[in-house]
Amino acid sequence: MKTFGHFIAGKWVKSDSRKTFESTNPADPKEVLGKFQLGTEKDVQKAITAAENAFIKWREVPAPKRGELILKAAQLLKREKERLAKLMVKEMGKVLKEARGDVQEAIDIAEYMAGEGRRLFGHTTPSELRDKFAMTIRIPLGVCGLITPWNFPIAIPAWKIFPALICGNTVILKPSSDTPLMALEFMKILDKAGFPKGTVNCVTGSGSVAGKELIENKRVKAISFTGSKETGEFIAGNAGIKKIGLELGGKNPIIVMDDADLNLALEGVIWGAFGTTGQRCTAASRVIIHEKVKKQFEEMLVSKAKKLRLGSGLKESTDVGPLINEAAVKKSEYYCGIGVKEKAKLLIGGKRARMNGCFFEPTIFTDVKPGMRIAQEEIFGPVVSLISVKNINEAIKVANNIEYGLSSSIYTNNVRNAFLAMQKINAGITYVNSSTIGSEVHLPFGGTKGTGNGTREAGIEGINEFSETKTLYIDYSGKLQKAQIDEVKVD
């Protein structure tokens, strides 16, 4: 069995702990993919030192040149796409077509951010004084700590690494312990692309040790985190004075109105609820259905869900892969039990699948009340709740009756319904006649309320997350001018 190292200062090194942990295949937990370093505070501190040293020179590299290296990384990802996708299926469990999409998302964000190297726009504006020039520029933050989840083990690290690098920062990645292999494969790609030693580093291990050190260390100038709300709250309270980006999940609604194309809505709900086995922060875990079409849509949804095929994601015939680990299976079981106790009607599923691995049956509850726990709490499994409403206003009220505000969707052929949803749903993303899943890298991604702290990833907002605004004044009048004091006369 292969043992992998941390990637620090361009070298593969063992942990100070001399301890390792294993990563296994959720479709076949007996298959161990490798042993990985159990990182310590000292390991993280070494990575911080390496990143600090690299930052001195990296920030001085012209941004277009930084972009050239990112573009090279994109080309290498393209070359390795199929190999990485198949490896991702083994470590994370998602089906092959989705794994290919995960790698493609990393390619897309790399190409986009490489182009930002020739922009990194600031602003120019007139001064209130004569012979004075005013403008803003973007400057890097320094060492950035990136803490990423397992459900998009290439895409989400790429969403953070590439904008951080194009802005002139250096980075330390702390990936999920469920998908360390994918993170280290990504490091190999970046190393091969030619990034200077120490520019990109990766420390594997637990969040409570390695992640905590990244969060609390004062030499780390920014933290970007995707994961649970509880961990996000810890970061907000313990990171100190540094720039923080948080993306903390969702409980996303799809509204299906009585005028909707039900066949189109059906495809959107199936994809939103059961794509990636429900393990997306944008997964559609609530279907808010107009009472006039509730019964018909239930029958359509159950019929379609029964045909979904569970199995290894490497099989082209598989529709739904395994959950990430045994704890995720137990969590889905737990919430299904809660749903039954809350008197929601179980239409299909609700239990572990009778097969080897961490598989759970696609599950549909109906007659769900908006305040039930299965309609309020993030399950992160293939469990969807149907909630009946009488009209568009009630639908929007139910959609907003949640602590999260990431993604949302409405299926309707009524333009008024569509615009009311776009205007009044309190979420960072709203889709019309499409599912809650499927962001594009040149547009901002993030949410409101408990989903985060107001930051956005990707698009131009990704540049804002990993840079600071600096204001510049150039006075060429040859005398001391005092803003707000000197009177400028109009001759």
Neighbours of 100 (CB within 10 A): 18
Active site residue 247: yes
Nearest to 6 by CA among 184, 170, 177: 184
**Which residue in 144, 167, 202, 281 is the catalytic one?**
281
Nearest to 225 by CA among 234, 217, 324: 234
What is the spatial distance between Cα 29 and Cα 375, in angstroms, rounded to a whole number?
A: 31
> Which strand (E) or helix (H) includes residue 262?
helix 262-274
**Which residue in 247, 298, 361, 457 is the catalytic one?**
247
Active site residue 144: no
Q: Which two tokens stand for residue 244?
A: 């923080």
What is the spatial distance between Cα 156 and Cα 183, in angstroms, rounded to a whole number?
A: 10
What is the spatial distance between Cα 145 and Cα 143, in angstroms, rounded to a whole number?
A: 7
What is the spatial distance between Cα 201 and Cα 47, in angstroms, rounded to a whole number?
A: 6
Neighbours of 393 (CB within 10 A): 11
Q: Which two tokens stand for residue 478?
A: 């040859």
What is the spatial distance between Cα 105 and Cα 477, in angstroms, rounded to a whole number?
A: 50
Q: Which amino acid, 414?
A: N
Q: Which two tokens stand for residue 323?
A: 């959950």
Q: Where are the alpha helices (DSSP H) in 318-442?
A: 326-341, 392-400, 415-424
Q: Which amino acid, 198?
A: G
Is 226 in contact with 56 (CB distance < 8 Å)?
no
338 three-class SS: helix
The percent of the chain in helix, strand and coil, each rounded to the nearest 5, is 40, 20, 40
DSSP state of 308: P
What is the spatial distance between Cα 334 and Cα 345, in angstroms, rounded to a whole number?
A: 16
β-pair type (124-126, 448-449): unpaired
Catalytic residue positions?
247, 281
